[in-house]
Amino acid sequence: MTLVCLGNLIVDDIVFADGRTRLGEPGGAMLYTALGASLWGARVAIVAPVGTDYPRATLAALAARGVDLSGLRTLARPGLRAWLRYEPDGRRVEHQAGSPTHDEASPRADDLVAFADARAFHLAPAPRTCQARLVEALSQCTRAFVSLDPHDPVTEASLGDWRDVLARVDLLFLSEEEARLPSLAPDPATALHALAGGRLGAVALKRGERGGVYVDLASGATTPWPARTHVALDATGAGDAFAGGFLAGWPDDRDLGAALTRGVVAASFALETMGARGLLDATRAEAQRRFDAWREAFAP
């Protein structure tokens, strides 16, 4: 299976709630998703414009992990750069002045042509308008499995704008930060059923340190998953790594317990170090050891 990740490559300047900073970190949700999937041996390709300032050592490390970089298109200028500020009530993202627009830094429909035969596509967080264009293009050129992780919040007021996009994807990854729907906390199955329609079959609701819950929209069945890690130093990219680990085999085997375990293992590596270093250094052997140790807790 080839998983094609569509999104942005961003250089992050991170400010933590305790005042610590990490400047010039290679980032972009797609980076963590690709690393989370490739950790399990999935064939992964990333598709995005790439700025001249994106750390080349990180691109080389991705290539060494077997990630296909042929879908990277040079911007011939510095790319997206953002402040990530972790505050007591959540994370704030602010794109820095002088950066390209999201339109300039996001994949175009013609970037997809070389990957028309891929088995699965994942749309990493980006503004809804950018994701809508890619979903439209995918619906015209492939019947592959499509998953999406939004950047713009999903609210009662924005549901009308989201419906056409979500109806053309198979699985939605959604964090509580992005999901602002009534009754979500006490009754996620009912709250998320408002998103049902078209191809959308399930939502993986990510709840950070509380794990999450997988909701089958057809049956209403919910499958919670716990969070696991040895130590939590940096939450940046953990949810995206979870998505990559989950998707590494899901479109083919549909083993929910295994997919959730792969996702949680991938997220655990992201949590244990600053930035993407934990995932870049992670080995398949250690991932498998954690999988074997944790698998029973993630059985549906």
Quickly list DSSP for 176-200: TTTEE-TTTTT-HHHHHHTT-BTTB
Q: Which residues pair with 73 in a beta bridge?
A: 49
Phi then psi for 236, rounded to 5 degrees? Answer: -55, 125
Give the DSSP per-residue string, 114-183: GGTT-SEEEE-S--HHHHHHHHHHHHHH---EEEE--SS-EETTTHHHHHHHHTT-SEEEEETTTEE-TT
Q: Which residues pair with 180 in a beta bridge?
A: 155
The yes-or-no verdict on residue 1 having pLDDT over 60 is no
The yes-or-no verdict on residue 142 having pLDDT over 60 is yes
Q: What is the largest CA-CA distance in the chain?
A: 49
Mean pLDDT of 112-125: 94
Which of 8-22, 222-236, 282-296 bottoms out in mean pLDDT, i.e. has the lowest? Answer: 222-236
pLDDT in tens, 159-209: 999 999 999 999 999 998 888 888 787 888 888 998 999 999 999 999 887
Catalytic site residue 240? yes
Burial status of residue 8 (CB atoms within 10 A of its CB: 0-12, 13-18, 19 or more): buried
All structural domains of the chain: 2-298 (3.40.1190.20)
Q: How far apart are CA 29 and CA 123, in angstroms?
A: 10
Mean pLDDT of 281-288: 96
More confident residue, 177 or 111: 111
pLDDT in tens, 51-81: 999 999 999 999 999 999 999 999 999 999 9
Residue in 111, 170, 234, 240 annotated catalytic: 240
DSSP 96: P
pLDDT band with cut points at 50, 70 and 90 for residue 224: very high
Residue closest to 108 by CA, chosen among 79, 55, 72, 82: 72
- pTM of the predicted model, to two decimals? 0.93
- Amino acid 41 reads G
